[in-house]
């Protein structure tokens, strides 16, 4: 089952990185959607490394909320595997 803890950790990370990219935008830096996604992916913990490789191989064209759902699914899958 999806718990509040799953959502909080994944969403908090995505929101923090979105906040950084928004701040860069306010400072005049052009932050493309691809760069914003890269910021999120590069901020992830080491155990997401397989997810990140798969993401770049498939070269998804998505928005941050889509990435958030994929990350949440990966986290839940990992948590269940170690339960």
Tell me: the pLDDT tens digits for 25-35? 999 999 998 88
Tokens of 31: 């932050």
Q: What's the predicted TM-score (pTM) here?
A: 0.72
Q: How far is it, in rounded angstroms, from Cα 82 to Cα 77?
A: 9
Q: How far is it, in rounded angstroms, from Cα 70 to Cα 55?
A: 10
Q: How far is it, in rounded angstroms, from Cα 38 to Cα 41?
A: 5
- DSSP class of residue 48 equals G
pLDDT (0 to 100) of residue 80: 67
pLDDT (0 to 100) of residue 4: 47
Q: Burial letters for 5-24: b for 16+ Cβ neighbours within 10 Å, e otherwise?
A: ebeeebeebbeebbeebeee
pLDDT beyond 80 at 42: yes
pLDDT beyond 80 at 81: no
């Amino acid at each position: 089952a999806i718990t509040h803890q799953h959502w909080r950790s994944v969403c908090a990370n995505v929101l923090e990185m979105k906040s950084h990219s928004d701040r860069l935008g306010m400072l005049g830096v052009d932050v493309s959607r691809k760069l914003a996604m890269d910021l999120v992916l590069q901020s992830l913990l080491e155990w997401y490394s397989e997810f990140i490789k798969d993401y770049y191989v498939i070269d998804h064209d998505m928005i941050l909320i889509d990435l958030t759902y994929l990350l949440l699914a990966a986290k839940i899958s990992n948590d269940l595997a170690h339960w």
